[in-house]
């Protein structure tokens, strides 16, 4: 390994004509970290990854790797390995030749290439498929082949652009776990692009949440989940995501649909706010906010209720044992510390 894989983005802007795909992006990745770039489609995640890889140049700003400015360094000289969403396997080469290609380009002697290829293939469990062509592999096997080609070179940075999105749900879960183990055992810095918040939450040590070309929050998954910075992030993280309800803040209380709830969040004056409530933080109680159960989605161990609170839709997660019936009227509440306040104008946390 020629470096530790420390990354800094400094004021990166990327314009496509008039359109700003990235508007002043800043973040730092520590060596050995599993760092996720999370955001909805079109928010600029792939653009960020491609700029880091050197496949695209930023319009302005600096990219630093291991404290060196690599903004104008060629992709092939950055010592970065990448797994593409399409895998980009070389169709005319066998699996073994695919995996060997980066080593050949690095002019390693043949005697070292063969064992390295075997080793990488074994790590991703495709060592029995080395003689096949990519066209003869299943989707999951192709994905592993792409992984093997990326890890064989022991690059300082390991970039993955939605590597699991072409797999079926079950395989995605399995591969997700293996990917994390693999990254741990290699000790390499990984940058992982996904639009699936669950994937980011489970895989990442830290993550950056992208919204229309900007990073709105950087932090551990737990931090982002516990204290989302903005209405957009609050509505994006969690399954189902936070309820966002217009309300009025009055002196330590919020008034939702005529009902007062205590909150620990404070703001200076009486004002309109947007209240964020996690579906899992809501509980049934006596004398709380009245709600009619419109729909029940039973997930087996838990259920998600769609509630109608005087015209406002609120979703609530309840444990298996105490599911009310559809059409029932219930009464709900939340602890003061579980009530998040956002500014409806700036959309940021108060």
Partner 1 sequence: MTAKRLRVFALLAISMIFLLAWAFPILWSVLNSLKTDSDVLAYPPKLVFAPTWEAYRDVLFGSGSILPNLLSSVIISVGTTIVTMLMAVPAAYALARLRFRGKKFAGFYVLATQMLPPVGIIIPYFLVLRNIGWIDTYQGIILIYLSFSLPFAIWLLVSYFEDIPFEMEEAAYLDGASRLKTLWRIIIPQVRGGIAVTVVFVFLNAWNEFLFAVVLSGNTVRPVTVAMFNFVSVEQTLWAKLAAVSVLAMLPVVVLGVVAQKHIVKGLTVGAVKGGGRR
Ligand X SMILES: Nc1ncnc2c1ncn2[C@@H]1O[C@H](COP(=O)(O)OP(=O)(O)OP(=O)(O)O)[C@@H](O)[C@H]1O
Which residues in this chain contact ligand X in the complex, by CB under 6 A?
Answer: 16, 19, 21, 39, 41-47, 195
Please report how close the Cβ of residue 37 comes to ligand X at its closest, in angstroms.
8
Q: Which residue's CB comes closest to Mg ion?
A: 46
- In SS3 terms, 275-332 reads as EEECHHHCEEEEEEEEEEEEEEEECCCEEEEEEEECCEEEEEEEEHHHCCCCCCEEEE
Q: Residues with Cβ < 8 Å from 95, sequence gap 6 or more?
A: 121, 126, 129, 130, 131, 132, 133, 134, 137, 145, 148
Q: Which ranges of 259-309 would DSSP assign to H, the alpha helix?
A: none
Please report how close the Cβ of residue 88 comes to Mg ion at its closest, in angstroms.
14
Give residue 37's Cα distance to chain centre.
Answer: 5
Report the C-alpha gap between 335 and 262 in whole angstroms.
Answer: 8
Interface residue with partner 1, options 25, 29, 53, 242 (CB under 8 A): 53
Q: In this structure, how many other beta carbons lie within 10 angstroms of the beta carbon of residue 18?
A: 5
User: Is residue 192 a contact point for partner 1 (CB under 8 A)?
Assistant: no
Segment holding 260, helix H or strand E: strand 259-262
- Per partner kind, with CB cut-offs from 5 to 8 A, the member of Mg ion, partner 1, ligand X, none near residue 235 is none
Binding mask 140-159 for partner 1 (x = CB under 8 A): ---------x---x------
Q: Residues with Cβ < 8 Å from 68, sequence gap 6 or more?
A: none
User: Is residue 116 a contact point for partner 1 (CB under 8 A)?
Assistant: no
User: Is residue 256 a contact point for partner 1 (CB under 8 A)?
Assistant: no
3-state secondary structure of 181: helix
Name the packing angle between helices 139-151 and 95-105 (round to 10°).
20
Backbone φ/ψ region at 187: left (φ over 0), alpha (ψ -120 to 50), beta:
left
User: Is residue 90 a contact point for partner 1 (CB under 8 A)?
Assistant: yes
Please report how close the Cβ of residue 227 comes to partner 1 at its closest, in angstroms.
36
- Per partner kind, with CB cut-offs from 5 to 8 A, the member of Mg ion, ligand X, partner 1, none near residue 41 is ligand X
Please report how close the Cβ of residue 250 comes to Mg ion at its closest, in angstroms.
44
User: Is residue 109 a contact point for partner 1 (CB under 8 A)?
Assistant: no
- Per partner kind, with CB cut-offs from 5 to 8 A, the member of partner 1, ligand X, Mg ion, none near residue 269 is none
Interface residue with partner 1, options 15, 57, 106, 313 (CB under 8 A): 106
Comparison of 163 and 280: residue with beta carbon closer to Mg ion = 163
Residue with tokens 């918040």: 197
- Per partner kind, with CB cut-offs from 5 to 8 A, the member of ligand X, Mg ion, partner 1, none near residue 88 is partner 1
Interface segment toward partner 1; rule CB under 8 A; list 69-77, 194-202, 265-273, 325-333: 69-77
Report the C-alpha gap between 305 and 294 in whole angstroms.
Answer: 7
- Per partner kind, with CB cut-offs from 5 to 8 A, the member of partner 1, ligand X, Mg ion, none near residue 319 is none
Give the closest residue to 200 by CA, choosing from 178, 225, 183. Answer: 225
Task: Write out the residues near partner 1 by the rule CB under 8 A.
Answer: 53, 55, 74-76, 80-82, 84, 86, 88, 90-92, 101-102, 105-106, 133-135, 149, 153
């Amino acid at each position: 390994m020629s470096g530790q894989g420390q990354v800094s983005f400094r004021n990166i802007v990327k314009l496509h004509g008039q359109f700003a795909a990235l508007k002043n992006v800043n973040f730092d990745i520590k060596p050995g970290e599993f760092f996720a770039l999370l955001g909805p489609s079109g928010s600029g995640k792939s653009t960020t990854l491609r700029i880091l890889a050197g496949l695209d140049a930023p319009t302005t700003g600096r990219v630093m790797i291991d404290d060196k400015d690599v903004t104008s360094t060629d992709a092939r000289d950055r010592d970065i390995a990448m797994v593409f969403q399409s895998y980009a396997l070389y169709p005319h080469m066998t699996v073994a030749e695919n995996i060997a290609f980066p080593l050949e380009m690095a002019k390693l002697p043949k005697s070292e290439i063969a064992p390295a290829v075997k080793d990488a293939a074994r790590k991703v469990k495709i060592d029995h498929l080395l003689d096949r062509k990519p066209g003869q592999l299943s989707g999951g096997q192709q994905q592993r082949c792409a992984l093997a080609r990326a890890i064989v070179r022991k690059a300082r940075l390991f970039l993955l652009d939605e590597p699991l999105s072409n797999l079926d749900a079950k395989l995605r879960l399995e591969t997700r776990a293996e990917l994390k183990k693999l990254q741990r055992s290699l000790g390499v810095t990984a940058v992982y692009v996904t639009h699936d918040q669950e994937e980011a939450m489970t895989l990442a040590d830290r993550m950056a949440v992208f919204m229309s070309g900007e990073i709105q929050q950087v932090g551990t998954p737990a931090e982002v989940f516990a204290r989302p910075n903005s209405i957009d992030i609050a509505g994006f993280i969690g399954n189902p995501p936070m309820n966002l309800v217009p309300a009025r803040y009055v002196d330590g209380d919020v008034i939702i649909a005529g009902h007062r709830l205590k909150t620990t969040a404070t703001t200076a004056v009486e004002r309109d706010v947007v209240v964020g409530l996690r579906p899992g933080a809501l509980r049934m109680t006596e004398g709380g906010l009245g709600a009619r159960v419109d729909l029940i989605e039973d997930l087996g161990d838990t259920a998600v209720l769609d509630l109608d609170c005087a015209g406002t839709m609120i979703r609530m997660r309840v444990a298996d044992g105490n599911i009310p019936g559809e059409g029932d009227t219930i009464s709900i509440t939340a602890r003061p510390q579980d009530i998040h306040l956002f500014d409806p104008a700036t959309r940021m946390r108060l």
